[in-house]
Structure 1
Amino acid sequence: MDKYYDLGITFIESVKLDDCNNTLIILDQTLLPNEKIFLEVKKLEDIWEAIHSLRVRGAPAIGITAAFGIYLWTKASSATSFENLFVDFKKGKDYLASARPTAVNLFWALDRMENRLNAEKHKEIAQIKVNLKDEAEKIHFEDAHVCEAIGNNTLSLLQPGWGILTHCNAGTIATARLGTALAPIYIGNARGYDFKVFADETRPLLQGARLTAWELKEASVDVTLICDNMASIVMKQGKIQAVLVGCDRIAANGDVANKIGTSGVAILAKYYNIPFYVCAPLSTIDLKCKNGDEIDIELRSGEEITSKWYSKPMAPEGVKTYNPCFDVTDNKIITAIITEKGIVYPPYEENLSKIF
């Protein structure tokens, strides 16, 4: 665990580059909370698998992994001309881009790496590779500061002692540092805000139970784990004053794709008159995507519902399943979208483009 000295916060770096050994070191989040194991990944196929199987997850962390992964792939290229190097790069880029369809940071990071590659086309091959490493490290470094800015901007909307509901995991292990939706909790508690966090378990992959509850407990944050279908009762009982979530993609009109179950939480928050805040870097805003209907929602294996977490199957053999990984929250029930550049309020179609 690394120390964030400005705030005295201990955090876990889930993705690291070991350039000397041509290796990407990834915290295997599928094993948490029972085992904390860091994988040493060298092959592009294994980086693809780590993203696809959620060993690395969280939109910013996926982008960082993709940037380091395409750098290592290009570094290993034997091409002696820019044209051949570009062919190798594109092969690796297209392959990595197929790992997950919904998280826009994956494509954003790969496009940014391609832009840097094209900007270096007149340089020596060795220097191009060095500069690609520089770009990947910038993506990593910038995300750490983006998280802090999102945390401070969100904190300006919260009050000490509040109860905060979260869904899925948008914390330190999903980003370069501090997280997005969890950043204000870490920063606030370092300043004496004493938040009381309620973490939805987040079925079916339990990112709230396995990851958010784990990392908040590790950081000595007051956290209570609840089942997804308990959100309504804790809201009704007055335990929740704000909902904070991250996201994987924001459409131009402010519709937000996030972990399955997020839209239900937003509907409940609207009913109980509780502010629902989406904490997200600008890199998750996709202005080319008109609205939520245009977001490709990833479908995953039904085994995640029926048997993944059980010693014996908990559903009849052969039953049909439907397992979308994300849902889309309508912009009309989102109180604000909070970015590193500031807080965006409705109308989102107008104001999201302004913040760029």
Structure 2
Amino acid sequence: MSLLALEWDAAAGRDGRGALRILDQTLLPTVTEHLVVEDVDTLVDAIGRLAVRGAPALGVTGALGVVVAMDQAADEGWDEDRLRREVDRVRDARPTAVNLAWGVDAVRPLVPQGRAAVLEAALRVAREDEAANRELSRLAADWLLERTGKERLRVLTHCNAGVLATSAWGTALGVVRELDARGLVEFVYADETRPLLQGARLTAWELAAEGIPHAVQADGAAASTIMRGLVDCAVVGADRITANGDVANKVGTLGVALACREAGIPLLVAAPWSTVDLAMADGSEIEIEERPGEEVTMLTGVRVAPEGTPGFNPAFDVTPARLVTAVATERGVVEPAAGDRLDGSSDG
């Protein structure tokens, strides 16, 4: 993919000091437009309206967001307390995905050392994310081939966990790309991912660009596709993984997991280790973000539900560990459904 979700543009910004450049994913696939982010308000807005989204991409955004805040502080003469509050706004812009806070926390201790130290650390976060994504994709592909015994795989995906959700390469879609590079992908079913259609708009866009055979299907078709034997596995990303292997991901993932268990095919979760939150024992502790109801009751600005009918719009659901066949990170593959835990302890 030639387009990245975000990057640090060294030639942009005031006096050419550099600025965060974000691909506005709300406009894809019909319009390709970038935002140059030089203030915290713009960054928090971009995160909130999903101009930038996807757990690993949010981690890098959080790290680079500290630099954005420091630059604004220098321009506007903020004191340390104001800078702390503004960095907190970036950190807390979306509650469910752990990577955003992780990215901020990874570079924040370096603020006293100055902008150059924070920027260097943030760019390292981006480089390490790509390396992690490539490694977890390799490990996951090997695991899937061994587990399924298939020569070529038919894969189901839910939401977008590709280049557009990361600094580069992708997680769940990175696994598909790794398999495709080996000539081992037969077909991909991409769930449309209501209500904002990340699968139809973004995953299909990436698959088309890579020339990978695919189709978009309604979310409600996923269980039937699985039960009819049309796929060999489901591969999804994650926004937070707890110590016991519970997984928070885009709402609808739980339904995919239930169908996979019933059909006896693996559900593999692909995510970098930064998505693992060992401080959380299980998924009951995860805060589920609720987004505006209008995202459900309206479509492209047109109301599709009666006036006065509210929309219920949880952005994520939690799939319990017993339904998660495997979690692949750059550190290896664990099998929560078989009793493996991310913290290495035993359920027995």
- TM-score normalised by structure 1 residue count: 0.89
Aligned to 1:17, the other structure's residue is in SS state: strand
1:129: how far off? 1.2
Q: How does 1:1-356 map to 2 (within 5 A)?
A: 10-22=1-13, 23-78=19-74, 86-117=80-111, 121=112, 123=113, 128-159=114-145, 160-309=151-300, 312-346=302-336, 351-354=341-344
1:236: how far off? 2.5
Identity %: 40
Tell whether the 8 Å contact from 1:253 to 1:348 is kept in structure 2 after alignment: no
Tell whether the 8 Å contact from 2:6 to 2:22 is kept in structure 1 after alignment: yes
1:85: how far off? 6.5
Aligned to 1:327, the other structure's residue is in SS state: strand
How many residues align structurally? Answer: 334
Distance 1:307 1:170 in 2: 25
Tell whether the 8 Å contact from 2:242 to 2:342 is kept in structure 1 after alignment: no
1:12: how far off? 2.3
| Long gaps (5+) in structure 1 | 1-9
Distance 2:129 2:136 in 1: 10
1:230: how far off? 0.8
185-194 or 286-295: which moved more? Answer: 185-194
Distance 2:135 2:185 in 1: 20
Distance 1:232 1:347 in 2: 19
70-79 or 10-19: which moved more? Answer: 70-79
Q: 1:343 to 1:323 in 2, by over 3 A?
A: same
Aligned to 1:299, the other structure's residue is in SS state: coil
Distance 1:85 1:351 in 2: 43
Tell whether the 8 Å contact from 2:240 to 2:276 is kept in structure 1 after alignment: yes
Aligned to 1:39, the other structure's residue is in SS state: strand
* CA RMSD, Structure 1 to Structure 2 (Å): 2.0
Tell whether the 8 Å contact from 1:279 to 1:339 is kept in structure 2 after alignment: yes
For 1:7, the equivalent position in structure 2 comes to none
For 1:4, the equivalent position in structure 2 comes to none
52-61 or 180-189: which moved more? Answer: 180-189
1:253: how far off? 1.4
Q: 1:256 to 1:15 in 2, by over 3 A?
A: same
Aligned to 2:304, the other structure's residue is in SS state: coil
Q: Residues 242-284 of structure 1, C-alpha deviation per residue, up to 9 Å, x if partnerless?
A: 1000010011111111000000110010000010011011111
66-75 or 143-152: which moved more? Answer: 66-75
Q: Which residue identity lines up with residue 110 of structure 1 in the other structure?
A: V
Tell whether the 8 Å contact from 2:152 to 2:184 is kept in structure 1 after alignment: yes
Q: Which residue identity lines up with residue 195 of structure 1 in the other structure?
A: E
Distance 1:224 1:330 in 2: 28
- TM-score normalised by structure 2 residue count: 0.91
For 2:16, the equivalent position in structure 1 comes to none
Tell whether the 8 Å contact from 1:185 to 1:195 is kept in structure 2 after alignment: no
Tell whether the 8 Å contact from 2:161 to 2:170 is kept in structure 1 after alignment: yes
Aligned to 1:250, the other structure's residue is in SS state: strand
Aligned to 1:12, the other structure's residue is in SS state: coil
Q: Which residue identity lines up with residue 62 of structure 1 in the other structure?
A: L
Tell whether the 8 Å contact from 1:11 to 1:177 is kept in structure 2 after alignment: no
